[in-house]
Each structure stands twice: as structure tokens, then as C-alpha cells.
A and B are shown apart, each in its own frame.
Chain A
């Protein structure tokens, strides 16, 4: 049974950076895509970007251009998201999710979420 386990909650100052990890266990890793989705308190879901570990480089939504980097470490079965120059409106739960095989674009396995507070 595939599981995604994320790193713990973070409290950061405005202008600083945060790096959240997501470790996959119980199944194959490199051939799957992984996405990062965030959710502000009381808000909806916002796709931030994704990566296929075997291809190396990630992509991200245009609004995060220059502030977000998504990476993967195949040897550790782990994907990461780094958000720089944090602002108060980056306060959110950050979820990683695995992309369903078959090219559906759906996210079928989700991590537990990591709360990032910028204050």
C-alpha cells in the first residue's frame, strides 16, 4: 500500500524560505508524477506544480514563477517543494499527491499535509 509521509509543521518569518518533504513508501516511485497542492485556512485547493522523478525537473503554475522549486531524490523516494520569499498569504496546508498512472491527470494518493505558517 503506497503511502506519502510529509515533514512536520513549520513556522517561518516573512521573506524567509521553507522546504517541505514528501517520502513515498510501499510502491514504485520514479515513474510516477507527484504534485504539490496547497490549501489556505478555510480555502480551496490550489495546484502549485509537479515533478516526475525519473525526468528530474519539475514544473509549476505560472503564479509561482521564481519563488517555487520542486525537486526529487530518487535514492530517498522523496519529493520536495521549496517556497522562497514567504508572505503571509503563503500560510496554508501543503499537500503532496501522487499522479494516477494512465495519464488521467488525477491525484490518487495524498500525503497527510504540512501546515506552513508565515508570521
Chain B
């Protein structure tokens, strides 16, 4: 099974500043056949289901503000929130989908707060 780790566990950022969350996978999630990284990012606010932010490591889902960006390839990925807003407080999860069985695994999550 592919294991995902995230760092830091939590971070506090001032409004308008930048937050960076790292996700590392125990095995590459890059498919040579289509040059895609099967790594997705979600935001979860208290009492709500998760919301998809980024798929294929760097493609924003429809309606996601452009202050959210994803980067990385292979086993190391980063979610960056530029110009942090109050509504960005929540827990962020990475998730991989690199198996023929269709299994998915999530990272442990990173909590983002306002400093």
C-alpha cells in the first residue's frame, strides 16, 4: 500500500500571507503513460464534508480560487495557499490514486489556522 505523510501537522499563518503544505508518498504516483501525477488535495472545514481543490497534483477544480495552487511530481508534492483568507481555515488532506485496484489513500491532514 502507498502511504502518505504530510508536514507540518499544523500551521498558523497571518492573513494575506502564504501557507505551504507538503505531502510525501511512499511510492511514485506518476504515470509515464499519460505524464500525470495521481495526487489530489482536499479542504475540510469543521462540520462539513471535504471539498476537492486540486487534482492531478496541479489542476484546480472548477470554482476553486486561484490562490490555491499545487505542485510537485513523483513522491513530493506541495499545496500552496497564497494571500491566506479567513475562510481558508480548515484541515487539508492529500490523496493518491496510483493503483490498478482503484484503492485510494489519504494523508493524515494538516490543520491551517490564522495567526
Contacts and interface: CB of A to CB of B under 8 A. Distances in A.
B55 A100 contact: yes
A14 interface: no
A106 B106 contact: no
Nearest to B62: A108
- Overall SS of chain B's interface: loop
B90 interface: no
A97 B95 CA distance: 14
Nearest to B1: A62
B68 interface: no
B40 A110 contact: no
B74 interface: no
**In which size bucket is the chain B interface?**
20 to 34
A100 B52 contact: yes
Contact of B97 (A95, A97, A106, A108): A106
Contacts of A46: 106
A111 B49 CA distance: 7
B101 interface: yes
A88 B33 CA distance: 43
B105 interface: yes
B102 A50 contact: yes
Interface of B: 1, 38, 40, 42, 44, 49-52, 55-56, 61, 93, 95-98, 101-109
21 contacts: A44-B93, A44-B106, A45-B44, A45-B95, A47-B95, A50-B102, A95-B49, A100-B52, A104-B40, A104-B55, A104-B56, A105-B95, A105-B97, A105-B98, A105-B104, A106-B40, A106-B52, A107-B52, A110-B50, A111-B49, A112-B49
